[in-house]
């Protein structure tokens, strides 16, 4: 084994709550700085990564460009609060993006205030935190009755902070990695309406609500994208809808969820009819919102949901959510023969793997379809004679 690279074996250690935690094995690389009489350390999952970092670190040390990480003496809650302030100001940003979404910042702020700050972990110094301490917090929240999904959200600001600190060389290791949580219960199944059911659901609504729900069904926009849609984004002549912004309930217009969320969606003929009528029925100009309470104020999602549910229940139809309308649009694309790349583009997914993960079971090649095709092929004369 090369000098300056050490395998870190798993070992049990006592947490500050007295529980035990197995710290995952990995590799630690270090470089000694004689002038400062200290070592610069960093941990890795793979030996090759440790070797590569150490080679670069040695070169930097020889140039005098390597410095030991400054000691962070802040308490965890204090450091997270300052980090969230940096997120709000845009000084701290996610990789490859300009800034964090306001909803993310609010979620982090709530998690720190409600769960992390009152905990033992909240008062620990940043440099003292071990994986067992983060695991202890997760175990305490689980014992208090929080579900795994909520606990995962609580840990998000911790994991983001420590990952960023490690990436910038401010910490030698990330103690918030690989926290053990039970697999959550089954999520609510996605509701996907058939084409005929979608038509019936739209027809049962008050006339003023039909264009909004038709756009959700036949263009697949997210709720915030529907709230932020302006008439300048709708090109009835070219049969296109441009998605260029979303809406935050506190901040107003914001950038969409990701770069891929900025997209152009085909405007189906069925939807164009609804929007044509809507445009004739209301006063508008190109900078006004298409579905706003006014030209500048978006629809209230809860009000729309309650009014629609009441209309559907009155005629015996199963209610649907705006997000499930988005799933319906994806299903319609797949049924119509759209290839996975087109589905990814029109849904605004940043990765095609996301499209496969969510809608792969709907695409040609599902288990039952493959079985049927294989049975038909193997029973065919061509297969027998070959």
Pair 228, 253: CB distance under 8 Å: yes
Predicted confidence at residue 68, as pLDDT, reads: 66
pLDDT digits (tens, 9 = 90+) for 23-38: 445 788 888 888 777 7
Per-residue pLDDT at 215:
97
Q: How many helices (H) and strands (E) does the chain have?
A: 15, 10
pLDDT given at position 183:
79
Q: Which domains does the chain have, with CATH numbers?
A: 5-62 (no CATH), 76-167 (1.10.150.130), 196-362 (1.10.443.10)
Tokens of 105: 């910042």
Q: Which residues of the chain have pLDDT under 70?
A: 1-2, 9-25, 67-70, 172, 184-188, 365-371, 373, 382-386
210 vs 224: CA distance, rounded Å: 18
Nearest by Cα to 113 from 90, 80, 136: 80
Q: Tell me how far CA of residue 207 lies from CA of 204, 244, 354, in angstroms.
A: 9, 27, 35
**pLDDT for the residue 367:** 62
Given the structure tokens 């983060």, which residue do they identify?
134
pTM over 0.75: no
Are the C-beta atoms of residues 278 and 214 closer than 8 Å to each other? no
Could you tell me if residue 220 is left (phi over 0), alpha (psi between -120 and 50 degrees) or otherwise beta? left
Contacts of 6 by beta carbon, 8 Å cutoff, 6+ apart: 27, 28, 29, 30
Which pLDDT score, from 0 to 100, does residue 385 have?
Answer: 60
């Amino acid at each position: 084994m090369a000098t300056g690279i050490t395998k870190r074996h798993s070992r049990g250690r006592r947490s500050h709550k007295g529980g035990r935690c197995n710290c995952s094995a990995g590799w630690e690389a270090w470089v000694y700085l004689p002038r400062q009489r200290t070592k610069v350390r960093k941990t890795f999952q793979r030996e090759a990564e440790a070797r590569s970092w150490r080679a670069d670190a040695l070169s930097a040390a020889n140039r005098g460009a390597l410095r030991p990480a400054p000691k962070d003496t802040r308490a965890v809650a204090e450091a997270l609060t300052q980090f969230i302030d940096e997120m709000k100001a845009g000084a701290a940003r996610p990789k490859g993006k300009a800034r964090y979404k306001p909803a993310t910042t609010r979620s982090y702020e709530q998690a720190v205030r409600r769960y992390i700050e009152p905990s033992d972990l909240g008062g620990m110094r940043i440099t003292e935190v071990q994986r067992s301490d983060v695991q202890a917090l997760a175990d305490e929240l689980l014992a208090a009755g929080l579900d795994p999904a909520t606990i995962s959200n609580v840990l998000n600001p911790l994991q983001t902070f420590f990952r960023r600190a490690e990436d910038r060389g401010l910490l030698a290791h990330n103690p918030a990695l690989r926290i053990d949580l039970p697999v959550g219960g089954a999520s609510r199944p996605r509701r996907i309406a058939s084409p005929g059911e979608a038509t019936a659901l739209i027809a049962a609504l008050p006339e003023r609500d039909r264009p909004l729900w038709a756009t959700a069904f036949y263009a697949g926009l997210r709720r915030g994208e529907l709230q932020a849609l302006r008439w300048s984004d709708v090109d009835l002549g070219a049969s296109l809808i441009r998605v260029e912004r979303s809406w935050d309930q506190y901040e107003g217009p914001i950038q969409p969820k990701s770069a891929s969320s900025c997209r152009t969606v085909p405007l189906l003929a069925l939807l164009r009819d609804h929007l044509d009528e809507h445009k004739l029925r209301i006063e508008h100009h190109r900078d006004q919102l298409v579905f706003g309470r006014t030209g500048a104020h978006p629809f209230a999602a809860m009000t729309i949901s309650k009014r629609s549910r009441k209309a559907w229940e009155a005629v015996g139809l199963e209610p649907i959510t705006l997000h499930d309308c988005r799933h319906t649009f994806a299903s319609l694309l797949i049924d119509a023969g759209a290839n996975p790349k087109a589905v990814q583009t029109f849904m605004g997914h940043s990765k095609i793997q996301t499209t496969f993960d969510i809608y792969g079971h709907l695409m040609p090649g599902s288990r039952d379809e493959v079985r049927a095709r294989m049975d038909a092929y193997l029973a065919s004369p061509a297969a027998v004679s070959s």
